[in-house]
């Protein structure tokens, strides 16, 4: 009874405080693609006072925030951050998945009903149609149509999913032209301010300079050696070491590699500041929303890994970009703005590095394993029943199953048992298991939260800690890293809040990524998006 009364009192105080607050003029959502929680502290001593440390030391630092589903990829991450639910509801089960009707793997935001605005490439044939749930940004537009929603990123999915279905402008980078583009889903012609920005030819100009460390190389003590056998070789280099010179490459290669360099973070920050001015964000009493997703840390992270000097330098430079953005917000909006910063997932150490240090980890070489599984299908069921293996999802030919009068549950169970016998596999689940109503709990529940019947495979499997899937073994395959697992190294991410009326505090209460939307709901003074299922971060209302 005392506990219930105490909780009721806290909720009443929180509600009373929320009613006295007014909504900020501008909310800025920042997603740093592939940011590990530990980066906040590994690099903290070298961060400026006005970037990451401003949020960490002057705002609310939710230190125990995790993803509550698997797979931990960019598309599902951005969708979950902005819908407040998991792939089991919003339907974005990966960056891509096998489409049974089309008989091919599809991008999570591809939509051939639309065309590119801003270039002649096909990179703008995109829309949010695959997102089954509305976003907090949609809810803002529904409630306050005068409020503007602008979303931007280098990656298409990272711009489109946060902007939702009612965005006033969603923009992403076209690696074929070096332009920021959009889709005619949003507008019939490109906004004049975006055309002016594209005319500056910033990617081309940026790639005429080399990427060297911001500070003397010997001061990068939070990383491993610069010359590391665990890093991908890029730009024709024989060793993965600074400096990186790009002006000797073909132009098309420069425009693509631009996304891997810290110059791209500067490019995106400049674009965000241009959007602030051109769209008059935060200039009236109706709340606007600016969603920014920094993709470059992920692109570089895949190549170099979390112990690289390149990633340390990337974050020291990104910190300065954040400082510049926050200073601009103070100048142009005043003090009446709120920012939250999180990540769409984190990352595992390079498995070869783990192996070389006698730590658990390794590789799942899928080509040979899938060939063995196909042979098993032929022997036991008379035909190869497998259509595709995407993102640890095995898709069966259900029409062939029916034609051969095979029991689908029996086939799925046999595949699951085959996978569970492998040293690299932690667990395998059939569709019947994942569609059951009983509570699974733990990592099993995370798999179910990431499962959608119409888009996921018939069998879903997870690998053991420290393992990555690669198509086949080679020296190149053992360089670089990735993400997607249910383990802490992929699921534990930063969540920082700062701005008007946000208290200064460190919060150890466990929260999930789906708790961001219910918290934003109160900041924005809007109803809950229909699929949101998280809980409000009460400490924000302290």
Catalytic positions: 74
DSSP 8-state code for residue 244: B
51 contacts 320 by C-beta, under 8 angstroms: yes
109 contacts 157 by C-beta, under 8 angstroms: yes
Pick from 333, 325, 344: which is nearest to 52 by CA?
325
Phi–psi pair at 169, nearest 5 degrees: 180, 120
Rounded CA gap, 382 and 379, in Å? 6
Pick from 453, 463, 433: which is nearest to 354 by CA?
463
CB-count exposure of residue 285 (10 Å: 0-12, 13-18, 19+) = exposed
Peptide bond into 347 cis (omega under 30): no
Residue 301 tokens, joined: 């992270």
Q: Which long-range contacts link 431-438 to residues 24+ away (Cβ below 8 Å)?
A: 431/456, 431/457, 431/458, 431/459, 434/460
The CB density around residue 409, as the number of other CB atoms within 10 Å, is 13
Tell whether the torsion through CA atoms of 118, 120, 122 and 127 is positive or negative.
positive
The CB density around residue 465, as the number of other CB atoms within 10 Å, is 17
Rounded CA gap, 109 and 129, in Å? 7
**Half-sphere exposure of residue 408, counting CA atoms within 13 Å on the CB side?**
16
Rounded CA gap, 1 and 273, in Å? 52
CB-count exposure of residue 436 (10 Å: 0-12, 13-18, 19+) = exposed
521 contacts 532 by C-beta, under 8 angstroms: yes
Give me Rg for the CA atoms of the chain. 23
Peptide bond into 106 cis (omega under 30): no
3-state secondary structure 299-340: HHHHHHCCCCHHHHHHHHHHHHHHHHHHHHHHHHHCCCEEEE
Beta bridge partners of 498: 339
Q: Look at residue 162 and give its three-state secondary structure.
A: helix
Q: Look at residue 492 and give its three-state secondary structure.
A: strand
121 contacts 183 by C-beta, under 8 angstroms: no
Q: How far is CA 125 from the centre of its chain?
A: 20
Residue 538 tokens, joined: 């009460």
What does 25-90 look like in DSSP terms, one character per residue?
SEEEEEEETT--TTHHHHSGGGS-TTTHHHHHHHSEEE-SEE--SS---HHHHHHHHHHSS-HHHH
């Amino acid at each position: 009874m005392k506990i219930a009364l105490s909780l009721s009192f806290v909720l009443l105080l929180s509600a009373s405080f929320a009613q006295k607050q007014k909504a900020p003029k501008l909310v800025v959502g920042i997603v740093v693609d592939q940011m590990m929680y530990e980066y906040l502290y590994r690099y903290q001593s070298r961060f400026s006072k006005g970037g990451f440390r401003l949020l960490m030391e002057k705002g609310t630092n939710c230190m125990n925030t995790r993803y509550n589903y698997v797979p931990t990829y960019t598309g599902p991450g951005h969708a979950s951050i902005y819908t407040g639910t998991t792939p089991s509801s919003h339907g974005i089960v990966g960056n891509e998945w096998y489409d049974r009707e089309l008989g091919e793997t599809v991008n999570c935001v591809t939509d051939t009903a639309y065309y590119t605005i801003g270039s002649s490439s096909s990179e703008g044939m995109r829309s949010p149609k695959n997102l089954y749930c509305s976003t907090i940004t949609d809810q803002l537009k529904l409630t306050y149509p005068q409020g503007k929603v602008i979303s931007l990123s280098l990656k298409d999915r990272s711009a489109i999913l946060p902007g939702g279905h009612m965005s006033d402008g969603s923009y992403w980078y076209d690696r074929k032209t070096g332009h920021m583009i959009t889709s005619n889903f949003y507008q019939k012609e490109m906004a004049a301010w975006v055309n002016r920005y594209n005319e500056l030819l910033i990617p081309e100009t940026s790639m005429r300079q080399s990427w060297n460390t911001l500070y003397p190389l010997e001061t990068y003590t939070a990383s491993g050696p610069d010359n590391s056998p665990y890093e991908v070789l890029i730009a024709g280099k024989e060793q993965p070491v600074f400096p990186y010179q790009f002006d000797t490459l073909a132009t098309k290669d420069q425009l693509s590699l631009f996304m891997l360099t810290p110059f791209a973070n500067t490019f995106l920050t400049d674009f965000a500041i241009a959007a602030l001015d051109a769209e008059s964000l935060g200039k009236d009493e109706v709340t606007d929303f600016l969603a920014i997703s920094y993709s470059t840390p992920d692109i570089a992270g895949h190549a170099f890994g979390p112990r690289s000097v390149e990633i340390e330098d990337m974050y020291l430079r990104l910190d300065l970009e954040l400082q510049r953005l926050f200073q601009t917000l103070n100048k142009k909006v005043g003090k009446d703005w709120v920012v939250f910063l999180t990540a769409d997932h984190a990352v595992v150490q390079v498995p070869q590095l783990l192996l070389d240090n006698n730590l658990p980890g390794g590789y799942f070489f899928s080509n040979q394993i899938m060939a063995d599984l196909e042979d098993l299908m032929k022997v036991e069921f008379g035909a190869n029943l497998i259509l595709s293996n995407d993102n640890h999802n095995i898709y069966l030919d259900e029409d062939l199953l029916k034609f051969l009068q095979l029991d689908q549950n029996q086939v799925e169970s046999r595949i699951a048992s085959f996978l569970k016998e492998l040293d690299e596999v932690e667990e395998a689940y059939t569709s019947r298991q994942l569609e059951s109503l009983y509570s699974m709990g733990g990592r099993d529940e995370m798999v179910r939260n990431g499962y959608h019947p119409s888009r996921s495979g018939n069998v879903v499997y997870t690998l053991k800690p420290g393992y990555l899937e690669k198509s086949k073994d080679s020296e190149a395959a053992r360089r670089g890293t990735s993400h997607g697992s249910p383990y802490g190294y992929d699921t534990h991410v930063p969540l920082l809040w700062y701005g008007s009326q946000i208290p200064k505090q460190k919060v150890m209460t466990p929260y999930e990524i789906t708790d961001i939307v219910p918290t934003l709901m109160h900041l924005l003074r809007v109803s809950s998006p229909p699929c949101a299922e998280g809980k409000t971060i009460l400490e924000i209302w302290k």
